[in-house]
Amino acid sequence: MTEIVSTRANPLVDPSLHVWGPEIPIYLFLGGWVAGMMVLSGLFLRRGRPGGRRSVCCRLPLYGLTLLTGGMLALFLDLEHKLYVWRLYVTWQPLSPMSWGAWILVLVYPALLATALVDPPGMLVTRVPAVAAVSTWLARPGPMRFLAWTNLTLGMALGFYTGILLSALGARPLWSSALLGPLFLASGLSAAAAFAHLVAPDREESRTMARADNAFLTIELGLIALLVIGLATAGESQRAAAALVLGGPYTAVFWVLVVGLGIAVPLLIQGLAVSHRIAHTPLAPVLVLLGGLALRFVIVSAGQASHWVRTSSLAGGG
Amino acid sequence: MSRYGMAIDTKRCVGCMDCVVACKVENQVPEGFCRDWITQALSGVYPTLSTEIRSERCNHCDRPPCVDCCPTGASHLHDRGAVVLVDAKLCIGCKACLASCPYGARFIHPQGYADKCTFCIHRVEEGLEPACVAVCPTRCMHLGDLDDPNSEVSRLLASRKSHSLLPEAGTGPRIHYLE
């Protein structure tokens, strides 16, 4: 039996009670979503835009710019010393994933903007004639190849970063897994494919996106299984962290919202749709997007509730 | 470079909280927050129970995760004693350091930056003891150089059984509790 009495039992002081609110999961979700869009855009650009000028890959960067701005706003709102945010960009801390992320985002913006200009909105071309010249120059094979690889590289980096940001914080056993990076990247790819499935003007491209989403959802499901198995079979602290989603307070929301409604149900619906047994429905991609958001909320919240369990002789600590 | 650490005698500590009050006064810690605190740990099964009262604070770890994860370099190691400090002018209040600390030793100051124990380095540099050490009525706390075998802390740790908090976390805490 161990009983701890601490004068610190105060949510203002004890960070395990509150560190990050809803802004961080929203930021991680939007960041991962944009990362997935960049990877998909990169793949489409490499393959020469199968949908032609109507290809969804020409639209994703514009959506990406908007979503990323929303994510950055959420991150900014979370900062407690907002006026000092510029300090991120006068240094580079190689051991800090957040520093890496800040600099990756600096590169992501121009890459998204340049990709969006490959096929700019007609209204913009009419109002700013120079945009047409830029677009023509970018549409040449050399710049297209460069944009494709840039989108692929930065998209992968951004997607991994959203997971590594958490997994580098070893004080929270739930996050202390290298699988979080690939999991958040797979989830971001899935969200991007689901979104492209929803908005693609070309029907064949939309179906391709549904098939791709099924693959990403399957990978995501596998990574979640590995994450939970890895935690549940590790040391006492990791087992206690796994218990949060295996019978603990996050069990229902994790298995019902994230795994059930966010992955398994859309996988089933889209599986039936791509095999022509039922018609394609917007329900599946909407569930995928909501499931991706729920995944970030659960992982961020449950991670903060997990902590090191003292296993040596005397009780207490942490 | 020296490496400051603490030895805290749990047989002497009575949990009077003088250290907490002294720290709040010395460092003008805002209301509702504290840089150090008292923990009373009761363990065992009746009737073989044991109680340990201890004064806790930032462990000024040898491998501080808060310094590694800081994106601006605000969390850093001080030249003197390798004490972990926060430069409020560099801190953006991202709270990564709070999430990375296994001891929950940090908090966000109402002015927006991360705050924590400094081992009262401003006093130590003037040859004084940290406020908590100076006021302790049972003299249970000792600050010194862990790399100096002749320091009082090193001698106490060599002569008495001791433990640190959560060594499993792998951060190398530099506060040791004498049993």
Please spell the DSSP secondary structure of A85-119, one letter per residue: GGGGGG---TT-HHHHHHHHHHHHHHHHHHHHTTS
Those of residues 146-165 in B touching chain A at CB distance below 8 A are: 163, 165
> Does residue B94 sit at the A interface (CB-CB below 8 Å)?
yes
- Residue of chain B minimizing CA distance to A303: B99
Check residue A318 and give its pLDDT.
40
For A262, counting Cβ atoms within 10 Å of its Cβ (0-12 exposed, 13-18 middle, 19+ buried), the class is: buried
Model confidence at A57: pLDDT above 80: no
Contact across the interface for A93 and B70, Cβ inside 8 Å = yes
Q: What's residue A15's pLDDT?
A: 61
Give the mutation candidate from B8, B18, B39 for the A interface (greatest A CB count, under 10 A).
Answer: B39
Q: Which residues of A touch B98 (CB under 8 A)?
A: 15, 19
Verify whether the Cβ–Cβ distance B32 to A12 is below 8 Å: yes
Q: Does A5 have pLDDT greater than 60?
A: yes
CA distance B33 to A147: 50
Q: A214 and A198 in contact (C-beta within 8 Å)?
A: no
pLDDT at B76 (0 to 100): 95
Work out the minimum CA distance from B62 to partner chain A, whole angstroms. Answer: 15
A91, pLDDT greater than 70? yes
Tokens matching residue A30: 């939007």
Domains plus CATH for chain A? 16-315 (1.20.1630.10)
In this prediction, residue A16 has a pLDDT band, given cuts at 50, 70 and 90, of: low
Taking the C-alpha atoms of residue B33 and residue A150, their distance in angstroms, rounded to an integer, is 47
A5/B37 CB distance under 8 A: no
Tokens found for residue B59: 């462990």
SS3 B39: strand
Flag whether pLDDT at A312 surpasses 60. no
Residue type, B93: G
Q: How far is B58 from chain A (nearest CA, A)?
A: 11
Share of residues in chain A with pLDDT > 90 (%)? 65
- A88–B71 CB contact, under 8 Å: yes
Of residues A128 and A153, more confidently modeled: A153
What is the C-alpha to C-alpha distance for residues A147 and A261, in angstroms, rounded to an integer?
35
Q: Give the pLDDT score at A314.
A: 47
Q: B32: distance to nearest CA of chain A, Å?
A: 7
Residues B102-157: tens digit of each pLDDT? 998 999 999 999 999 999 999 999 999 999 999 999 999 999 999 999 999 999 99
Separate counts of helices (H) and strands (E) for chain A: 12, 1
A38 has pLDDT over 90: yes
Q: What are the DSSP E strand ranges found in chain A? A: 2-6
Angle at which helices A23-46 and A141-167 cross, to 10°: 150
Higher-pLDDT residue of A203, A13 = A203
User: Across residues A239-249, what is the average pLDDT?
Assistant: 94
Report ipTM (2 d.p.): 0.88
Q: Which of A258-267, A289-298, A299-308, B134-143 has the lowest mean pLDDT?
A: A299-308
Q: Is the CB of B41 inside 8 Å of chain A's CB atoms?
A: yes
Spatial CA neighbour of A261 closest among A293, A232, A233:
A293
pLDDT number for residue A203: 83
Instruction: Please name the member of A169, A307, A318 whose beta carbon is closest to the beta carbon of B165.
Output: A318
Out of A7, A16, A237, the one facing B168 most closely (by C-beta) is: A237
Contacts of B47 in chain A (CB under 8 A): none
Give A276 to chain B, closest Cα distance, Å.
48
**pLDDT tens digit string along B122-137?**
999 999 999 999 999 9
pLDDT higher at A188 or A307:
A188
Question: What's the whole-number mean pLDDT along residues A45-50?
Answer: 70
Q: How far is A183 from chain B (nearest CA, A)?
A: 20
CB A263 within 8 A of CB A214: no
Residues of A in contact with B112 (CB under 8 A): 80-82, 84
Residue that wins the pLDDT comparison between B37 and A1:
B37
Residue of B69, B90, B111, B161 for testing the chain A interface, max A β-carbons within 10 Å: B69
| Burial (CB count <10 Å: 0-12, 13-18, 19+), residue B97 | buried
Decide if B125 contacts A97 (C-beta within 8 A).
no
In this structure, are residues B157 and B22 in contact, taking their beta carbons and an 8 Å threshold? no
Mean pLDDT value across chain B = 93
CB contact under 8 A, B38 and A102: no
Collect all residues with Cβ–Cβ distance below 8 Å to A145 and sequence separation of at least 6.
Answer: A46
- Answer with the residue of higher pLDDT: A108 or A207: A108
Mean pLDDT across the stretch A193-216? 90
- Predicted pLDDT of residue A124: 84
pLDDT band at A44 (very low <50, low <70, confident <90, very high): confident
Supply the pLDDT for residue B44.
87
Distance from CA of A118 to the nearest CA of B (A): 34
Check if B38 contacts A (Cβ < 8 Å): yes
Query: B112 in contact with A at a CB cutoff of 8 Å?
Result: yes
Q: Which residues contact B178 (CB under 8 A, 6 or more apart)?
A: B7, B8, B9, B10, B11, B156, B157, B160, B161, B162
Rounded Cα distance between A45 and A145, Å, is 7
User: pLDDT at position B171, please?
Assistant: 93
Share of chain B above pLDDT 70, in %: 100
pLDDT band at A49 (very low <50, low <70, confident <90, very high): low
Taking the C-alpha atoms of residue A107 and residue A92, their distance in angstroms, rounded to an integer, is 14
Binary contact (A317, B37; C-beta < 8 A): no
Q: How confident is the model at residue A315 (pLDDT cuts 50, 70, 90)?
A: very low
Tell me whether residue A106 is exposed, middle or buried, using C-beta atoms within 10 angstroms of its C-beta: 0 to 12, 13 to 18, 19 or more. Answer: exposed
Nearest CA in chain A to B72: A88
Q: Which residues of B touch A14 (CB under 8 A)?
A: 104
**How far, in Å, CA of A183 to CA of A95, rounded?**
21
| CA neighbor of A37 nearest in space, from A223, A203, A202, A187 | A187
CB contact under 8 A, A171 and B41: no
- Of the ranges A53-67, A271-285, B54-68, B154-168, which one carries the lowest mean pLDDT score? A53-67
Instruction: Give the count of Cβ contacts less than 8 A between chain A and B.
Output: 181
The answer to whether B165 and A318 have CB atoms below 8 angstroms apart is yes
Mean pLDDT, range A101-120, rounded to an integer = 92
For chain B, counts of helices (H) and of strands (E): 6, 10
CA pair distance A189, A43, nearest whole angstrom: 12
Q: Which residues of B touch A15 (CB under 8 A)?
A: 95, 98-99, 101, 104, 106-107
Instruction: Pick the residue from chain B with its C-alpha nearest to A84.
Output: B92
